Amino acid sequence: MSLVSNSAARLLPFLALVVLGVSPLWAADEVIGSVKKVVGTAAVLRDGQSIPARAGLRLLAMDTLSTGSDGSLGVVLHDDAILALGPSSQVALERFAYAPAEQRLGFVARIARGTISYLSGIIGRLAPETVRFETPVGTLGIRGTHFAIKIAE
Amino acid sequence: MPPPSPAPPPAPAKNVFLLLPDAQGRVGAVTVTNAGGVRTLDTAGQATRVRDAQSAPTVPQVLGQAEIEGLFGAALITEPVPPMHFNLYFEADSTALTAASRDDIPRILDAIRERSSADTSVTGHTDTLGDPKRNFELGLRRAMAIGSLLAAAGVDPGLLDIGSHGETNLLVPTPDGAAEPRNRRVEVTVR
C-alpha cells in the first residue's frame, strides 16, 4: 500500500512538469522564442532544413532566420526581447541562455546580411555584457536598448 | 585648360548601426567594435557607419526620420508588440492568490486569446529573504500552481513555459536578506 503511493507521490511532481510543458534544463532543443509576424517570404533554417516561417512557429537554439527580397519577420524571444528582420536578411541565433537562477544568461546573434532591429529584454537588463551582435564589419554590444543594424551584402 | 574637378567624395559606407529609443522613449547605449576601433552611440537616432572590418566606425551622426524609414522601415514595422506582463501575488504562506490577483486571471486569458500567444511564461519569484535554493523551489511551486490554474481555465499547457527565477530577478531591488512583498510574485508574460 505505502510502496505504491510513495512512488506515485515521487512521480507526480515530474509528471506535472511534463504536462505543463516544462523542458528539462538539459534539453538540447530548448524553445527560445516564437515567430509573431511574417510578411512575404521568410524561413527558419534548422539542421539543414528550411521551414517556412509562420506566426506561432517555435524557435530553437541555433536557428537561423532568413527573409527573401519581399519578406520581413518579427519574433519574440523568451526573455521578452524583440527581433525583427527586413528583406534579404539572414541572422543566426548562435546562443540564447535565459536562466538567471543558474547565473546562465546570454544572447549572441550573427548577422550575415540585411537589416534587423532589436529591442533588448530581460537578458539585456540583467546582464547587458552578455548580449552581442556579430557582423562581418564589427561587433555590437549593448547597455539595455533598442537599435537597428544594416549589413550590405 | 580648365582645372580638373575635385574627385567626388567617397560614397558613405553601406553598413549602418543605429540607436533607437524604446516605446517609452528611453535610450540605452551600444558600442560597435572592430579592428579599427570602438564607437559608442548613446543618443536616440545616432548612427555610425562601418566600411569594413578594418575601418573604424565613423563619428556618430543623428539620422533623420526619412532616412531611418528608408533604411529600416520594413524591419521596424514588423516588430511584434511588446509582451504583456501580469504580476500575481499570494496570501501569506500560501499558493492562493490575493483577491486582486484573482481578478487578473480573466485578463490573462483574454491576452493569450487576443495575441494568439504560442508562448506564455509563468515564472515564480521570491524576495531575498532566506536560502537561494529554497527560494528557487518556492518560486517554482507557486509558478506550477498558476500553470495548473491556467490549464484548468482552458489554456493549452503546451504553450506555457513554467519556471522560477528564485531571488535572482527582483522587481524591487533590495540587498540580500530583505523581506519585500512586492518581489514575492508569479509573473505571467504573454508573448
Whole-angstrom distance, CA of residue A68 vs CA of residue A87: 6
pLDDT in tens, chain A (153 residues): 444 444 444 444 443 343 333 444 434 468 999 999 999 999 999 999 999 999 999 999 999 999 999 999 999 999 999 999 999 999 999 999 999 888 899 999 999 999 999 999 999 999 999 999 999 999 999 986 788 999 997
- The domain locations on chain A are 26-151
What is the predicted ipTM? 0.82
- Asked if A76 and B191 come within 8 Å (Cβ–Cβ), the reply is yes
On whether the pTM is more than 0.90, the answer is no
Quick one: average pLDDT of B23-48? 94
Secondary structure (3-state) at A153 = coil
To the nearest whole Å, the CA of B34 is away from the closest chain A CA by 4
Q: A86: which 3 cell numbers?
A: 527586413
- How confident is the model over B109-146, as pLDDT tens digits? 999 999 999 899 999 999 898 899 999 999 999 999 99
Between chains, do A120 and B28 touch, taking CB under 8 Å as contact?
Answer: yes
CA distance B122 to A17: 12
The CA distance from A127 to B158, in Å, is 29
Q: B34, A78: Cβ pair inside 8 Å?
A: no
Residue A29: CA count within 13 A, CB half-sphere? 4
Beta strand B160-166 pairing with B120-125: parallel
Residues of A in contact with B16 (CB under 8 A): 148-150
> What is the three-class DSSP state of B67?
helix
Query: Residue B139 and residue B88: Cα distance in Å, rounded?
Result: 12
Mean pLDDT of B51-77: 96
B84-190 adopts what CATH topology?
A: 60s Ribosomal Protein L30; Chain: A; (3.30.1330)
Domain spans of chain B? 15-77, 84-190
Q: Which residue of A has its CA nearest to B21?
A: A146
Collect all residues of chain A within an 8 Å Cβ-Cβ radius of residue B81: 36
CB contact under 8 A, A150 and B16: yes
